[in-house]
Structure 1
Amino acid sequence: MYFIQGDFMRFLIAITMPFMLSGCVGLAVGSFDTFEGKTEDFTLSEKRYEFSFGNAVAYTSEQVVTLWGQPDEKYQEGRCTVFSYYDGYNWSGVGAFILLVPVPLLVPSGHNEIKIYFKDNKTTAVTTESGEVSSMFGFMCGSNECGFKAGAVNQNRTRNIKPVWCE
């Protein structure tokens, strides 16, 4: 009988652990959208989609192609040439959080992009996209915060960065 109880306990732990890994708890619904971030101070890695911040290096378009390969898109934006590298999908939709269980209802809505801007064939900035909760209704605990929220969240994030440095 002990063996069966031990197996049952391992089964229970295996089933409940994934629900505890989210780090959040609450009862809420929300919407999920894509936001952009920008930096002018970056260094590219030889591995595509990897870069670090600080110790800025001004790359030529040829150096970027050598490091990351041909871009998925290339276009002009004002006085800048833009290389766009797709980095997975971005998602849009809604979701619910019930106690420890997230219930997403998301659909792919495009590509996450890393955009590298060149002016006079030198890098000037990079923008990256990431998905975040944009609005919610309910009570949530996570990221060292607990509370009821109704309306927009992540208001310090920018949805679309206008490349004024290319004007």
Structure 2
Amino acid sequence: MPSPLASFLATTSLPERVRKFGQIRTKLRSLKYPSEPQHLQDQCRVFRQWMQRDFSASFSLKALQKAERMTKVQYQSFISFFENLRALRDYLAMEDQIMVVAIKIQKLEEQLSALKAEQITLSSKLYKKIKELKRVNHEVEESEAQLANSNIALEELGRIFTIMQTYHHRIDTLAKDVNLLG
């Protein structure tokens, strides 16, 4: 069975908790009846001091022993109030830690988005470089093909030149033969 404090924390918002805390504080301040036993007045004073020091003051053993002499209802109320204050302090500390973690998460998300933007930029640059490399590679292949064609043409020209030299030599020989005959 969940404690009343746990169910209170689970079902109320922070503003409601602060309002309840204010009500408890007001009740403590209003407990200054002259008919109160001295130990209750001491407890109220200790509570007030404790609240003023932002929940950091500790109870003395004597104050706790006096609290044990209270009636059962008063003692349970005292313990419940003390536990509520401690739970509120712990809750606020946890809220602060959550805020710190949330801020860290936000910074990490900002860094992640910056890294993603950088990744997109680098991917775009890489794509452009690959495209340029493919274009240059294609130009090199075309140049190699042209060079091969030029070599073939040069070989063809060399063959034609050899044939022409052969025919020129034969024509020259025939011309000399014609001159001798004629």
TM-score (norm 1): 0.20
Determine which structure has greater relative contact order: mean sequence separation of CA pairs < 8 Å that are 6+ residues apart, divided by chain length.
Answer: 1
**Which of structures 1 and 2 has the bigger CA Rg?**
2
Identify the structure with the greater strand proportion: 1
TM-score (norm 2): 0.19
Identify the structure with the greater helix proportion: 2
